[in-house]
Amino acid sequence: MTDDSGKAGHSLWGGRFSAKPADLMRRINASIDVDRRLAGEDLAGSRAHAAMLAATGVIGDVDEQAIQAGLGLIETEITAGTFTFREDLEDIHMNVEARLTELIGAAAGRLHTARSRNDQVALDFRLWVREACGRAASQLRDLQRSLLRRAEETADVLMPGFTHLQPAQPVTFGHHLMAYVEMFGRDAARFDDARARMNECPLGAAALAGTSFPIDRAATARALGFDRPTANSLDSVSSRDFALEALSAGAICATHLSRLAEEIVIWMTPGFGFISLSDAFTTGSSIMPQKRNPDAAELIRAKVGRILGSLVNLTVVMKGLPLAYGKDMQEDKAPTFEAFDALELSVAAMTGMIDDLTPNRAAMAAAAGSGFSTATDLADWLVRRLGLPFRQAHHVTGRAVARAEALGCDLSALSLVELQALEAGIAADVYDVLTPAASVASRTSYGGTAPSQVRAQIARWKDSLA
């Protein structure tokens, strides 16, 4: 690679090289199209490093002042969109350093004292992932608040609960939505945990072995909002488990988003008709004018593949690398950026759909009693009132379901005579438990679907998210 002076090699690292790399080498080696997103993090790390170098006497105050002023000018250029990102300078670190040299001259060369691109990129990437985890957790809590508002409105709205996508027992729509509040709460906590675990500063590890300069790593850690410096220089520059952990949390979260998206798709089909979405979150067909397609939900459902793929991508990159740094690790950022871009868009879109959807209470209530969904309530009544062993009650109830099926009616429509023919002790108050509303109201165990329990959980989460 030839620098602006026409000399062979690279002005920032090519001292021992007498010829420039091949064009293909330059293309495969460059990462600036990806890591230019780390410009803010790179400038923040350089500011903290320069301040620490001056405080410890490694560089003079005059040089530090020039460096800080130059970094400020670079930030202004980047913000204004006038900064030129050059592929021949490979990455964001060398682009910034080259521009700093143009602005302030030889003093720029002192900035790289006691650091390497290895700890520099480890720092920049860690800063970015740390903030991405924070954004994800915050977004998820906004999604939880939207779900809580909907759940509060529908805490007593009947719907069928499913297993195997077959009607199982009546629940409420609010209870169903609260299941996702729990899931997304764990997702947010995973991002919080990952953020706390990665909050150690690798700056000062240098290339791999630390440095002989009298630096103060605790000072740079504090300046950049870290809890402490990392404790092993080899680990500092060679580990990307902080990104893997963040991507793992993202993949689990995307799975939860996909499950809810799938339910929205199902609920919107005419066969269910449980909810509707407005024009804001649906699209039409180019040939079928009657169509209203839940495309936002379908795209969220698909993005789990992109996010999970990013986790697999980085895992494969890292799995065979000896300590410490290998150029393979340059491929860590693209999948991480892509995954968090997809995740942030998906959470925002899901929040929008939850705020937008309109539940069809009548359709859900009508479906809540389908498929003999109160059969378990009959079995429980037989145990409570008649003292039957549950297995015997289960058998009696199964015969009742078969009889209702033969007659083409619900359990609640079987006459008392029909029921007593199956079990003589059955009394008229059995009908009190055979409606979906009665079934739901009876499920008062902690975490159950009874509206009183749903409202209690809503209150608990409101306090938690306040």
- d(CA 414, CA 419) in angstroms, rounded, equals 7
Q: 5, 18, 164, 445: which is the annotated catalytic residue? A: 164
Active site residue 285: yes
What count of Cα atoms within 13 Å lies in the side-chain half-sphere of residue 269? 8
Sign of the dihedral through C-alpha 51, 52, 56, 60: negative
Phi-psi region of 462 (alpha: psi -120 to 50; beta: other; left: phi over 0): alpha
Q: Residue 157 has which token pair?
A: 């709205």
Active site residue 439: no
In this structure, which amino acid lies at residue 135? R
Dihedral angle computed from the Cα positions of residues 192, 197, 200 and 202, in that order, rounded to the nearest 10 degrees = -110
Judged by DSSP in three states, 358 sits in: strand
In this structure, which amino acid lies at residue 14? G
- d(CA 34, CA 36) in angstroms, rounded, equals 6
Q: 138, 278, 285, 452: which is the annotated catalytic residue? A: 285
- d(CA 270, CA 282) in angstroms, rounded, equals 15
DSSP 90-138: -SHHHHHHHHHHHHHGGGGGGTTTT--HHHHHHHHHHHHHHHHHHHHHH
On whether the CB atoms of residues 454 and 172 are closer than 8 A, the answer is: yes
Q: Active-site residues: which are they?
A: 164, 285
